[in-house]
Each structure stands twice: as C-alpha cells, then as structure tokens.
Amino acid sequence: MAAALRGLGYLLIGVAAVLVLIIAAVVVLTRTDFGVERAGGFALDQLRGEVDGQLEVGRVQSRGLLRGVTLHDVAIREHDGRPFLLADSARLTYRLRTLLAGDIAFNRLLLHSPTIYVERLPGQEEWNYDRLFRGDQPSEPDTLPPTRLVLIEDVTIRDGVVVVRRPWEPEGPVEPEDTARIILESTPSGLVQTWRFEALDARVPRIVWEAPGEEGRIIDIRQLATRAYVWREPAEVRDVEGTVMIRDSLVSFEAPMVRLPRSEVSAVGRVIMGDDMRYDVEFTSDDVAFADLQWVHPRMPADGGGAIRFRIQTQDSGDLLWLARDARVRTGGSELEGSFGIVTGDTLHFTNVDLRASPLDVELLLRLLPTDLPIEGLLIGTVEVDGPVSAADRRRAPR
C-alpha cells in the first residue's frame, strides 16, 4: 500500500510539474516582451508562407500568441517589386488551432489606409493576386479542388484605395471619343485602362479564399462606401450590401442594396475578365434619380427620374446592348413609359422599342441618345414609338 501511495504521489507531482510548465509557457507567450516577440514572429512567419513574393513589415506589436498581432507599415509586393498592398497598419486576430493545422483562419482583420493594386499588365496572363496567393487553388480544370481552408472573417477597411488595371489593346483605329472618358495609364509593358476607388470604407463579414473541396472564392459585403472612378466622372456610392463570387476569370455578384446620394438600386450580374471584357449586368430601381447616373452618361439631365430596369449585356458579336425595360420616368415636363434598347459597336441601332411619351421633348432625347432621330421639335400629346426608330410612327393628339 505504501508503495502504491508513493507511486500516486510521484504521478501527482509529475502532473503538477506539467501544469506549471504549461502555465509558465502561457504566461511567457502572453505577458512578457519575449513572448510578444515570439508571438508576432510566429504570425508573421505564417503570413510569409502564404505570399509568393515579398512581405515587408516595419514593426510588429502583439499582446501575446492568443491575442493576435498588429503589423505596422505593411507592404506585399511581387518579386519584381510591384506593390499589391501598402497599408499603415493591419490588425489580425486568428484561430491558433487552425494555424497549427496548416489552415489560415483570421477572426478579424482591420486595415488602416490601405492601397490595394489589382492588376494584369499587357503581356501577362494572370492577375497579380493569382501569382501572389496560389495556395491550393487548382490551376488546371481537371486538377483536384483545394484541401485546406483560407478564411478571413470580420474585415474592416478604413480610408482605403483600390486601383484596378487591365491591358487596353483596342482592335482597329481609335477615335478621340473612344478615349475621352476612360482613364488610361502608361506602363513599361504598354497602356492599361484604370479603375480607381477612393475613400473606401467597408465591412466584410467573410472572405473565403479557399475551402476544402470547393473551387472559387466568395466575398460577403455588409457595408461599403466609395468614390468610384470607372470613368473620369466619379460615382458616389454611399452603401453596398451583397456577395461577390470569383471563379477563374468569371466574377459574378448580387447586390440587393446599392445606395447612391439620391437613389437606391439593386444589381445582379457577371463579368468575364479578359482581353475582351464581357458583361451581363442588370440594375433595378423603383425610384432612381437621373443626377445619380450622370457618371454613366454625362448628358443625363440633372432633374427627374423614376422606375426602371436597365441591362448591359455583351452580345455574341461583341457589340454591347443597353436595354431599358418597364421604364416609367419623368423629366423636364415629359413622361416616358415602356422599353427600348440600343446596340453599340461597329454600328449603332435600336431594338425592342415600345415607348409612350407625353409630351415627347425631342431635344431632351437628342441629349440622351448617341444618334439623330427623324423628328424634331416638341410633340404635344401622346407619342407612341413601336419598332425601329428609323421608321418611327408619330401620332399627335389635338392640342
């Protein structure tokens, strides 16, 4: 019995010693300067392992391995030095268990004043983020989907800038009006078209960059505000809520709520990124203000608006269809109802025209449409147009 008691005592002493060692390790990793340095270094090493390029950090702060890390003066660059991300600071908290298992799962990411460059320059086949963060994402259609998780939750961006660049390589001769509104920049490899999003503030509950057994990427957006320079005239976006999905070169999105200064619209669609961008996007609003659309078409009147469903779709020929359906709009004393479409490309023509206007202000239409009409002046009463505008049937009610 005495021997058994002594054995039990030795076991308890051993367990106590292990517990003391564990407590000491936790204290060292979470309380001491040495532990803070080790914790920050651990998190930084994990991040460097994810970047096929350069990760530069000016200073690391951490309250311990279990409490996350703050990185100051952060830069992620490609091997040739071109930047992908520049940020004043990035605050990260993470799931230690998943990090140790080889997955990447951040509970929170807070970026202060980041500038993010998303680009594919002339002569390149991949976007820069594909080269920097290859991970387990399949590169060929017949390869297996990824086997690990890369997840970032609760992302906050404050006062950010996003710059998107893609090759500008038009086919055939270029007219001055072709470049009057787009933003072009010179790079060592050629001209690029640039989109710029400034004063960006966003809350993103979830970014799934990789998931076991799944292909593609998902970005959920809870709140987003920015000044967007898709063309030279900026669009003021007050708030966006929706989801973006990326698979290879296909970007699809659904935004039930897009709030502009005077309007609220919903948007759904997809864009195929490539040498020739292809679009299929639809916007719907019960009461849109024309003033909010002047960045799309500068000659849009500053007053008026109404309900409309508007679709932009690339045709098989490469031409672009601009189709307004179920429109009920008013401006300048005129009311317009119905549907009409314009196809732009090598030639321009109207399609799906079924309109009623009362009265029809032709001068207003000439400001809005990129072509002449076979009518002039102010038509009083109700004007109906059905079929090709070049053969417009005009009926005037008595004054």
- To the nearest whole number, what is the mean pLDDT of the chain? 77
> Which of 88-97, 135-144, 299-308, 337-346 ranks highest by mean pLDDT?
299-308
pLDDT of 251 strictly over 60: yes
What is the pLDDT averaged over residues 243-252?
90
- Say if residue 186 is in the same domain as residue 308: no
> End of a domain among 218, 233, 248?
233
On whether residue 2 sits in a domain, the answer given is no
On whether residue 356 sits in a domain, the answer given is yes
What residues form DSSP beta bridges with 62?
Answer: 69
33-48 vs 2-31: helix crossing angle, rounded to 10? 70
- Say if residue 158 is in the same domain as residue 56: yes
pLDDT of 2 strictly over 60: no
Question: Number of folded domains in the chain?
Answer: 2
Confidence band of 266 (pLDDT split at 50, 70, 90): very high
What is the pLDDT averaged over residues 244-263?
92
What is the pLDDT averaged over residues 150-164?
92
- Say if residue 283 is in the same domain as residue 216: no
Residue 376 pLDDT: 45
pLDDT of 146 strictly over 80: no
- Say if residue 214 is in the same domain as residue 317: no
**Bigger pLDDT: 375 vs 269:** 269
167, 295, 368, 395 from 331: Cα distances, Å: 39, 18, 12, 21
Confidence band of 25 (pLDDT split at 50, 70, 90): very low
Q: Which of 97, 99, 101, 47 is nearest to 76 (CA)?
A: 47
- Say if residue 201 is in the same domain as residue 286: no
- Say if residue 312 is in the same domain as residue 181: no
- Spatial contact of 262 and 277, defined as CB atoms under 8 Å apart: no
> End of a domain among 216, 233, 250?
233
Confidence band of 276 (pLDDT split at 50, 70, 90): confident
Residue 373 pLDDT: 52
Distance between CA atoms of residues 112 and 89, nearest Å: 5
* Amino acid at position 136, single letter: D
Q: Are strands 115-119 and 150-167 parallel, antiparallel or unpaired?
A: parallel
pLDDT of 56 strictly over 50: yes
What residues form DSSP beta bridges with 352?
Answer: none
Lowest mean pLDDT: which of 143-147, 241-245, 254-258? 143-147
On whether residue 229 sits in a domain, the answer given is yes
* pTM for this prediction: 0.76
Would you say the C-alpha torsion 125, 126, 131, 135 has a positive or negative sign?
negative
Q: Which domain holds residue 303?
A: 260-399
- Say if residue 266 is in the same domain as residue 387: yes
- Say if residue 222 is in the same domain as residue 266: no
SS (H, E, C) the chain: CHHHHHHHHHHHHHHHHHHHHHHHHHHHHHHCHHHHHHHHHHHHHHHHCCCCCEEEEEEEEECCCCCCEEEEEEEEECCCCCEEEEEEEEEEEECHHHHHCCCEEEEEEEEECCEEEEECCCCCCCCHHHHHCCCCCCCCCCCCCCCCCEEEEEEEEEEEEEEEEEECCCCCCCCHHHHCCCCEEEECCEEEEEEEEEEEEEEEEEEEEEECCECCEEEEECEEEEEEECCCCCEEECEEEEEEEEECCEEEEEEEEEECCCCEEEEEEEEECCCCCEEEEEEEEEEEEHHHHCCCCCCCCCCCEEEEEEEEEECCCCCEEEEEEEEEEEECCEEEEEEEEEEECCCCEEEEEEEEEECEEHHHHHHHCCCCCCCCCEECCCEEEECCHHHCCCCCCCC
Q: Which of 299, 221, 212, 287 is nearest to 256 (CA)?
A: 221
Lowest mean pLDDT: which of 102-106, 156-160, 240-244, 332-336? 102-106
- Say if residue 93 is in the same domain as residue 190: yes
- Say if residue 205 is in the same domain as residue 331: no
On whether residue 20 sits in a domain, the answer given is no
On whether residue 290 sits in a domain, the answer given is yes
What is the pLDDT averaged over residues 263-292?
90
On whether residue 330 sits in a domain, the answer given is yes
